Every structure is written in structure tokens, then in C-alpha cells.
Amino acid sequence: MSRLIVLDTETTGLEVSDGHRIIEIGAVELLDRRLTGNNYHQYICPERAVDAGALEVHGITDEFLTDKPLFAAIAADFLAYIKGADELVIHNAPFDVEFLNAELKACGHSSTVQDICTVTDSLAVARKQYPGKRNSLDALCDRLAINNSHRTLHGALLDSEILADVYLIMTGGQETLELEEDSGLQQAAQANSVRPPGLTLSETPVTSVEQQSHQDWCEKHKIVAW
């Protein structure tokens, strides 16, 4: 029986070298390419402020994170969860893996994520399968007819659930992701909705100039525009 873990993180900012930290980890487990409902989800206190740009992406405030555990307190449980996985799938994996390894090193763990399980970058898979096209998670959902309308903000667990669906279709396993009675997607959507009180969302049309500016910024910082 194959065990696949699909994982995502949210962070205080873009660069480990600038002291940015992980604030959320979400992951879903699949056995023989079917969701089990054995998910992992954890908010983490980063002991530093969240950058304004990152806040716009995930909506997770400093106040919300104040009473959350430090990474050192959850590291053992996290490692136990991913241990034994045949494959750890992450979109734009180098970004998340660098942050995870930095957190592990900071709290005294000698092992890296790559020491524990094989890491697959689903972005690299998508680029190989769809060369020359946009391969952000949103773009892949559009291309593969996956409904992600419930995704208003980035959230590590919800994004992992969506990525699991995307990855299964890209790798030819099944065309829809059938969930157990307690839908993993429902759980993920609920987890993603846990945001600081008072946070409201508004829809503002994006101009072509703004779209190009955003794309230029993403390319400058070597990240993937979701």
C-alpha cells in the first residue's frame, strides 16, 4: 500500500535568509491514491511579525498567532506524521522544504525533510506536462476543471487538499477525488476559514497593469504566482 502526503505551508514572508518563519502547516494523507481523512494541520507562533505582503496572501495576523505553539513544540509530531511516506508532494517544493529544514535545524533536529521521505515538486511535474503554460495552483485548477471557488485566501490545509486533486489528475490516477464520509475538503475549507475576527474580504477588479506588475514581482523573487 502506497502512502502519499500532500503538504503546504504558510510563512511570515518570502526569504529564510531574512529570518522569516513558518506559521502554518497543512497536509493530507492518501493511501493507494485515496484520501484517508488523516490530515495534519497546525498553526505556529513564529516569534516575529508577519510581513504585510504575506498577510494579504493568507490573512493570518500576528494577534491570531500569539497563543499558538512554537515549531519546536510540534516538530516531533510533524516528523512522525510524514515518516514512512513513500512520497511527499509539494507545489514549488524548494520554497517549503527550505523553510521546513530551517525550522528543524533551529530546534536541534539533525534530519532534513529529504532524509525522511522522497520529495516531489508538483510544479516541476506540471511544467513538464504543460510546458510554456502557467502552472500555478489556480491555473491548474482552471485547466483541469477543478472547482476551487471556496478558496478565498491561501490556507495550508485547503491548498493541500486542492493540490492532491490536481496531482492525482496530472499523474493519471483518477479524474475526480472521491472523499470519505467526513470530507477532507470540508475539513480543509473549515480550517481555512479560521481567520482573525474582523477580517473581511472584498472583490476589487484587477487591471492588466496590476497583473503584469504582480507577475514581474513574482519573477524577481523567484516564486510562483498562485
Q: Which residues are catalytic?
A: 154
91 contacts 123 by C-beta, under 8 angstroms: yes
Rounded Cα–Cα distance for residues 26 and 179 (Å): 17
Rounded Cα–Cα distance for residues 173 and 199 (Å): 38
Radius of gyration of the chain from its Cα atoms, rounded to whole angstroms: 17
Cα–Cα distances in angstroms (integers) from residue 143 to residues 7, 154, 214, 219, in the given order: 21, 19, 21, 22
Containing 138, the helix (H) or strand (E) segment is: helix 137-143
Choose among 85, 91, 92, 154: nearest CA to 113.
Answer: 85
Residue 40 pairs with which residues in a beta bridge?
27
Rounded Cα–Cα distance for residues 91 and 163 (Å): 8
